[in-house]
Amino acid sequence: MRIDIITIFPGMFAPLEQSILKRAAEKKLLEIKLWDLRDFTQDKHRKVDDTAYGGGKGMVFRCEPVFNAVSRAKNENPCGKVIITSPQGSLFTQEAAKKFSREQGLIIICGHYEGIDERVFSIVDYEVSIGDYVLTGGELPAMVITDCVARLIPGVLPKEASVDDSFNGCLLDWPCYTKPEVFNGLRVPEILLSGNHKKIAEWRCKQAEERTRKKRPDLYKKYLKEKS
């Protein structure tokens, strides 16, 4: 999969060159291309924003550089679905990540300032928010979307690795333990040392249900509805 990211701060994206995403790129499963929005301006000051018509505080992304950047990205990633990060967007979920991972490509526009010229939305396929809070810009949401989607691309992780992730099947993950068997008087549950894989699976399922019931009753309610 190819993911193009349009931003005014390309230097922020160094984390995408680490860990699992780095290995995915080395295996040619993922390609990430950064586009500096300022390269698509027409003035010597490389200005990407301006004051809003009708007045008001804050600056607004101008439509021309965004249109130009998306057009260039589309030339190299013609099947890329265009996503814009925005507080007004649909909440990004694991289901959304699965949907995006099935696309041939993505083009992510990092929102900024007070907003973006409304005409930009005429070329946008998805408007996405990662949560009900305010960030300084769309770069962090773009990284979250990229990371979450990339790990679902076939071959990026071992086949079993993402199956039991939290939020798959509406349940949070079960408790995990590793060596040593006893630490500061705290013991690993005996069931996990039993070698009885059926009993271990049953224990993990019950633990996941109870953890979800306590920590995320909204998800637990959804789980019971799907289970019935």
- The two structure tokens encoding residue 95: 């289901």
Known active-site residue 151: yes
Q: Cβ(143)–Cβ(15) under 8 Å?
A: yes
For the question of residue 78 being annotated catalytic, the response is no
Establish whether 38 is a catalytic residue: no
- Residue 4: active-site member: no
205 lies in the same domain as 119: no
Q: Examine the domain organization and report whether 110 and 214 are in the same domain.
A: no
Question: What is the structure's pLDDT at 142?
Answer: 98
Spot the catalytic one: 87, 147, 209, 210: 87
Residue 203: give the domain boundaries: 168-227
CA dihedral 81, 85, 91, 97 (to 10 degrees): 40
pTM (predicted TM-score): 0.86
- Write out the two tokens for 45: 């000051």
Q: Looking at 77-158, list the stretches that DSSP marks H as alpha helix, in order from N- to C-terminal side.
A: 94-101, 139-150
| Distance, CA of 172 to CA of 190 (rounded, Å) | 22
Q: Which of these is catalytic: 147, 165, 173, 210? A: 165
Residues 124 and 175 in one domain: no
* pLDDT < 50: residue spans in the chain: none
Has residue 116 been placed in a domain? yes
The verdict on 92 and 137 lying in the same domain is yes
Residue type, 93: T
pLDDT tens digit sequence for 23-69 = 999 999 999 999 999 999 988 899 999 999 999 888 999 999 999 99
> pLDDT of 133-142, one tens digit each?
989 999 999 9
- Indicate which CATH number applies to the domain containing 174: 1.10.1270.20
Distance CA 72, CA 58 (A): 28
- Contact status, residue 147 vs residue 32, Cβ threshold 8 Å: no
Q: Which of 17, 114, 125, 164 is flagged as catalytic?
A: 114
Angle at 189 between CA 188 and CA 195, to 5 degrees: 100
**90: Cβ contacts below 8 Å, ≥ 6 apart:** 96, 126, 127, 128, 129
Residues 6 and 66 in one domain: yes
Find tokens 């010229």 and name the residue.
117
Nearest residue to 86 via CA among 122, 58, 52, 124: 124
**What is the distance of C-alpha 167 from the center of its chain?**
14
